[in-house]
Amino acid sequence: MSLLQRVERHRKGADTAVATVTKTEPTPRKPVQRARGDLIAEIRDLVQTEVEGAFDELLDAADAADALSRITGIVDRIITSHEFAVTREERNRLVEEVVNEISGFGPIEPYLADPTITEVMVNGPRQVYIERKGKIQKVDVVFLNDEHVRRIIDRIIAPMGRHIDETSPRVDARLPDGSRVNAIIEPLSLVGPVITIRKFSATPYTVDDLISFGTASAETFQFLRACVEARLNIFVSGGTGSGKTTTLNVISQFIPEGERIITIEDAAELQLNQEHVVTLEARPPNIEGAGEITIRDLLRNALHMRPERIIVGECRSGEALDMIQAMTTGNDGSLSTGHANTTRDMLRRLETMILMTGYELPLRAIREQIASAVDLIVHTARLKDGSRKIVNITEVLGIEDDEILTQDIFAFEAHGVDEKGKVIGEMKSTGHRPTFMGAFKSAGVELPPGEFGIPPLDPTKPIPKGKGRWQSEESTRAAALRAVKIGLGKAVTAGGMVYVNAIGPVDPESGQVVAGGVREQTRQCLTNLKRKLEEAGSSLDKVVWANWSLKDSTEFDSFNEEWVRWFPGDPPGGQGTLLSLAQRREGFRVALGVIAQA
């Protein structure tokens, strides 16, 4: 609405008010309130118009007191010359608005100073929203026009040497307090200039803060501290606004003092308390399109800076490949974040980001790199009540059949909502024992009694293979004690024939899978098959049909060399299949089944 329209509307409102007084009915309150609001809007427009004309003069003020005196003079002069009737509170608010315009960020300055607000969103000059306690709400604040919003954007990005115009209509920046800013203008934005500010606390959040917010329990953070101290590679995943960066910032505080930490970000947000921290920030291209320094560039450079820990604020594209390689080449204990809806989605996102590098890498090779590098995924989410919580802590076990294997160690279990609409729930152990438990002992990390509710080692249950560097005395001892309960086979006699299936490479005395490759395992399978047939009143020379299952079809030649040694002359016919998942997890490379005459 133009100033002329505002004045006309105010006059009509005043006429209506006068006409209402001449009637016998009481004056309605709502029209008077609307007229009052228009009056303040009219004064604000007049003040801002005059301030725009005297903008350079105000910037040249000797100090803050001098600027305040000049601004107060402008406001008082306009109120007096137009004989506006305003209260002291309204007059002081007008002065404050102009001060914010000169020395701050205009109409949104009060919201940036409010510690209870976590996000400020400007959708063009007439719509401003904030987020408070996880809920978005519109506020009664407007800018004069698009140019007014553009001026605030320029004030934000100018100190960082960045620019925004029609040829480069979007920019990422940060405020002096570290708050993250994104701005986008025409022609990309059709609603006018848009500003999105993700606020950060002036003082870094601590573990106690996140516990009080309900992000996770003290026990959960105690477990994450142990993982960081044991130098596990950790990704924090989650959707937009789920608290990934805050969580990363808090768990990075668990890195012991004395280690050399290098942080790499698009816009520096992390606030580490350790002494030996090197902060690197990417740089966008200049007006000519030159001089860009990407996160990938900084990551490669960081590898020459003798890092002990590398923290990448967020992996969005090709830098994921460099991050994964850093994790697998001696930089254990590195941390990063990524956008994803689930932990599985985070792994798929990493695959996609690596493919974005343009290198023609086989998908299996990419998955092997990811599975080897990433040890733990901490997944965050914003729940329907607006709260942000850690909802999953997931171990990345390795790769099997071209698929990355994972298992949840802890998961958030919701029980419902209370009378205030808050989600009630807790993080619980899923009953899976991580394969890296031995890493805590190797790193000298003391676990509390009960080990966070993680179940103790059960020698009778299968143990996920895990990663080579996590093989500990615990897992080796358990594997030695546990007898394999599959692969012993079963024989059934019917119709003059003996049907035998599921013969595996298991030593019948120890109950364990024999060591060696496919040739040694084939030999054990045939030894077991021979005994099983003889127990059923048959023998190898009476086999008429066979089925062999291999873990890897490329190993058929090695299998067949051993097979024909046991069936000289004319071996029985048959067919090959792939091993079942249960057999592969036990370490089988081959299993047999046959049909023989009784």
pLDDT at position 593? 94
> Does the pLDDT value for residue 28 go beyond 60?
no
* pLDDT exceeds 80 at position 369: yes
**Tokens 């979007």, residue?**
170
Q: Looking at the structure, tell me whether residues 364 and 261 fall in a common domain.
A: yes
**Residue 311 shares a structural domain with residue 456:** yes
| Cβ contacts of 169 within 8 Å, gap of 6 or more | 184, 185, 186, 187, 188, 189
Same domain assignment for residues 212 and 190: no
Per-residue pLDDT of 178-193, as tens digits, reads 788 999 999 999 999 9
Residue 342 lies in a domain: yes
Residues 292, 338 within the same domain = yes
Average pLDDT, the chain: 83
Query: Is position 146 within any domain?
Result: yes
Where residue 6 falls (left for φ over 0; alpha for ψ -120 to 50; beta otherwise) is: alpha
Q: How far apart (Å, rounded) are the C-alpha atoms in residues 532 and 474?
A: 34
Report whether pLDDT(364) > 70. yes
Residue 542 reports pLDDT greater than 90:
yes
Give a yes or no: residue 339 inside a domain: yes
Please name the residue that has the structure tokens 């329907």: 384
**From 25-34, 525-534, 549-558, the region with the lowest mean pLDDT:** 25-34
Q: Are residues 80 and 222 in the same domain?
A: no
Q: Which residue has the higher pLDDT, 443 or 484?
A: 443
Residue found under tokens 């007229």? 35
Predicted confidence band of residue 134 (pLDDT cuts 50, 70, 90): confident
In the predicted structure, residue 416 carries a pLDDT above the cut 70:
yes
Edge-to-edge strand ranges of the sheet holding 590-597: 488-494, 497-503, 590-597, 543-550, 573-578
Contact 546, 574 (CB under 8 A): yes
Confidence of residue 29 (pLDDT cuts 50, 70, 90): very low
Does a structural domain hold residue 268?
A: yes
In what helix (H) or strand (E) does residue 273 lie, and over which residues does it extend?
Answer: none
Place of tokens 């477990």: 223
**Residue entry with tokens 């606020």:** 199
Q: Which parts of 316-362 fold into alpha helices (H)?
A: 319-327, 343-355
Q: State residue 58's pLDDT score.
A: 61
Structural Rg of the chain based on CA atoms: 35
pLDDT(300) > 50: yes
Confidence class of residue 5 from pLDDT cuts 50, 70 and 90?
very low
Buried/exposed code over 11-20 (b: 16+ C-beta within 10 A; e: otherwise): eebeebeeee
Asked if residue 126 and residue 88 are part of one domain, the reply reads no
pLDDT at 394: 96
The reply to whether 30 and 68 lie within a common domain is yes
Section 147-170 average pLDDT: 87
Domain count, the chain: 4
pLDDT of residue 283: 84
DSSP strands (E only) in 418-529: 423-429, 488-494, 497-503
One domain, residues 193 and 327: no
Which is more confident, 63 or 112? 112
Pairing of strands 117-123, 423-429: unpaired
Cis peptide bond N-terminal to 464, omega within 30: no
- CATH assignment of the domain containing 290: 3.40.50.300
Residue that finishes a domain, picked among 151, 175, 198:
198
Helices in 159-239 by DSSP H: which ranges? Answer: 207-213, 218-229
- Look up the CATH number of the domain holding residue 191: 3.30.450.370
Residue 474 lies in a domain: no
Query: What pLDDT, on the 0 to 100 scale, is given for residue 389?
Result: 94
Return the SS3 of 295.
helix
- Three-state SS at 343: helix
Residue among 485, 484, 424, 411 at smallest CA distance from 454 = 411
Residues 59 and 126 placed together within one structural domain of the fold: no
Residue 21 has pLDDT above 50, yes or no: no
Averaged pLDDT for residues 246-251: 93
Residue 340 covered by a domain: yes
Residue 591 and residue 549 in contact, taking contact as beta carbons nearer than 8 Å: yes
Q: What is the mean pLDDT of residues 279-291?
A: 81
238 and 95 co-located in one domain: no
Task: Using the CB atoms, write b or e for 474-506: b if 16+ within 10 Å.
Answer: bbeebbeebebebbebebeeeeeebbbeebbbb
Predicted pLDDT at 471: 57
* pLDDT tops 90 at residue 93: no
pLDDT digits (tens, 9 = 90+) for 561-584: 999 999 987 888 899 999 987 788
Note the pLDDT of residue 130: 95
pLDDT (0 to 100) of residue 244: 92
Residue 170 vs residue 267, higher pLDDT: 170
Helical H runs in 170-318? 207-213, 218-229, 244-252, 295-302
**Distance between CA atoms of residues 315 and 11, nearest Å:** 57
476 within some domain:
no
pTM value?
A: 0.69
Asked if the structure places residue 289 within a domain, the reply is: yes
Tokens matching residue 257: 């003092």
The verdict on 381 and 517 lying in the same domain is: no
Query: Which of the listed residues 79, 103, 127 is the one where a domain comes to its end?
Result: 103
Q: Which domain holds residue 420?
A: 207-469
Least confident of 143-147, 410-414, 494-498: 143-147
Final residue before a domain boundary, out of 148, 164, 198: 198
pLDDT for 126 equals: 92
CB-based contacts of 218: which residues, under 8 Å, 6+ apart? 207, 211
pLDDT in tens, 35-45: 666 777 777 77
Residue 200: what pLDDT?
Answer: 77
- Is the pLDDT higher at 18 or at 124? 124
Identify whether residues 256 and 373 lie together within a single domain.
Answer: yes
Closest by CA to 548, choosing from 585, 583, 593, is 593
pLDDT exceeds cutoff 70 at 20: no
**Mean predicted confidence (pLDDT) in 334-363:** 92
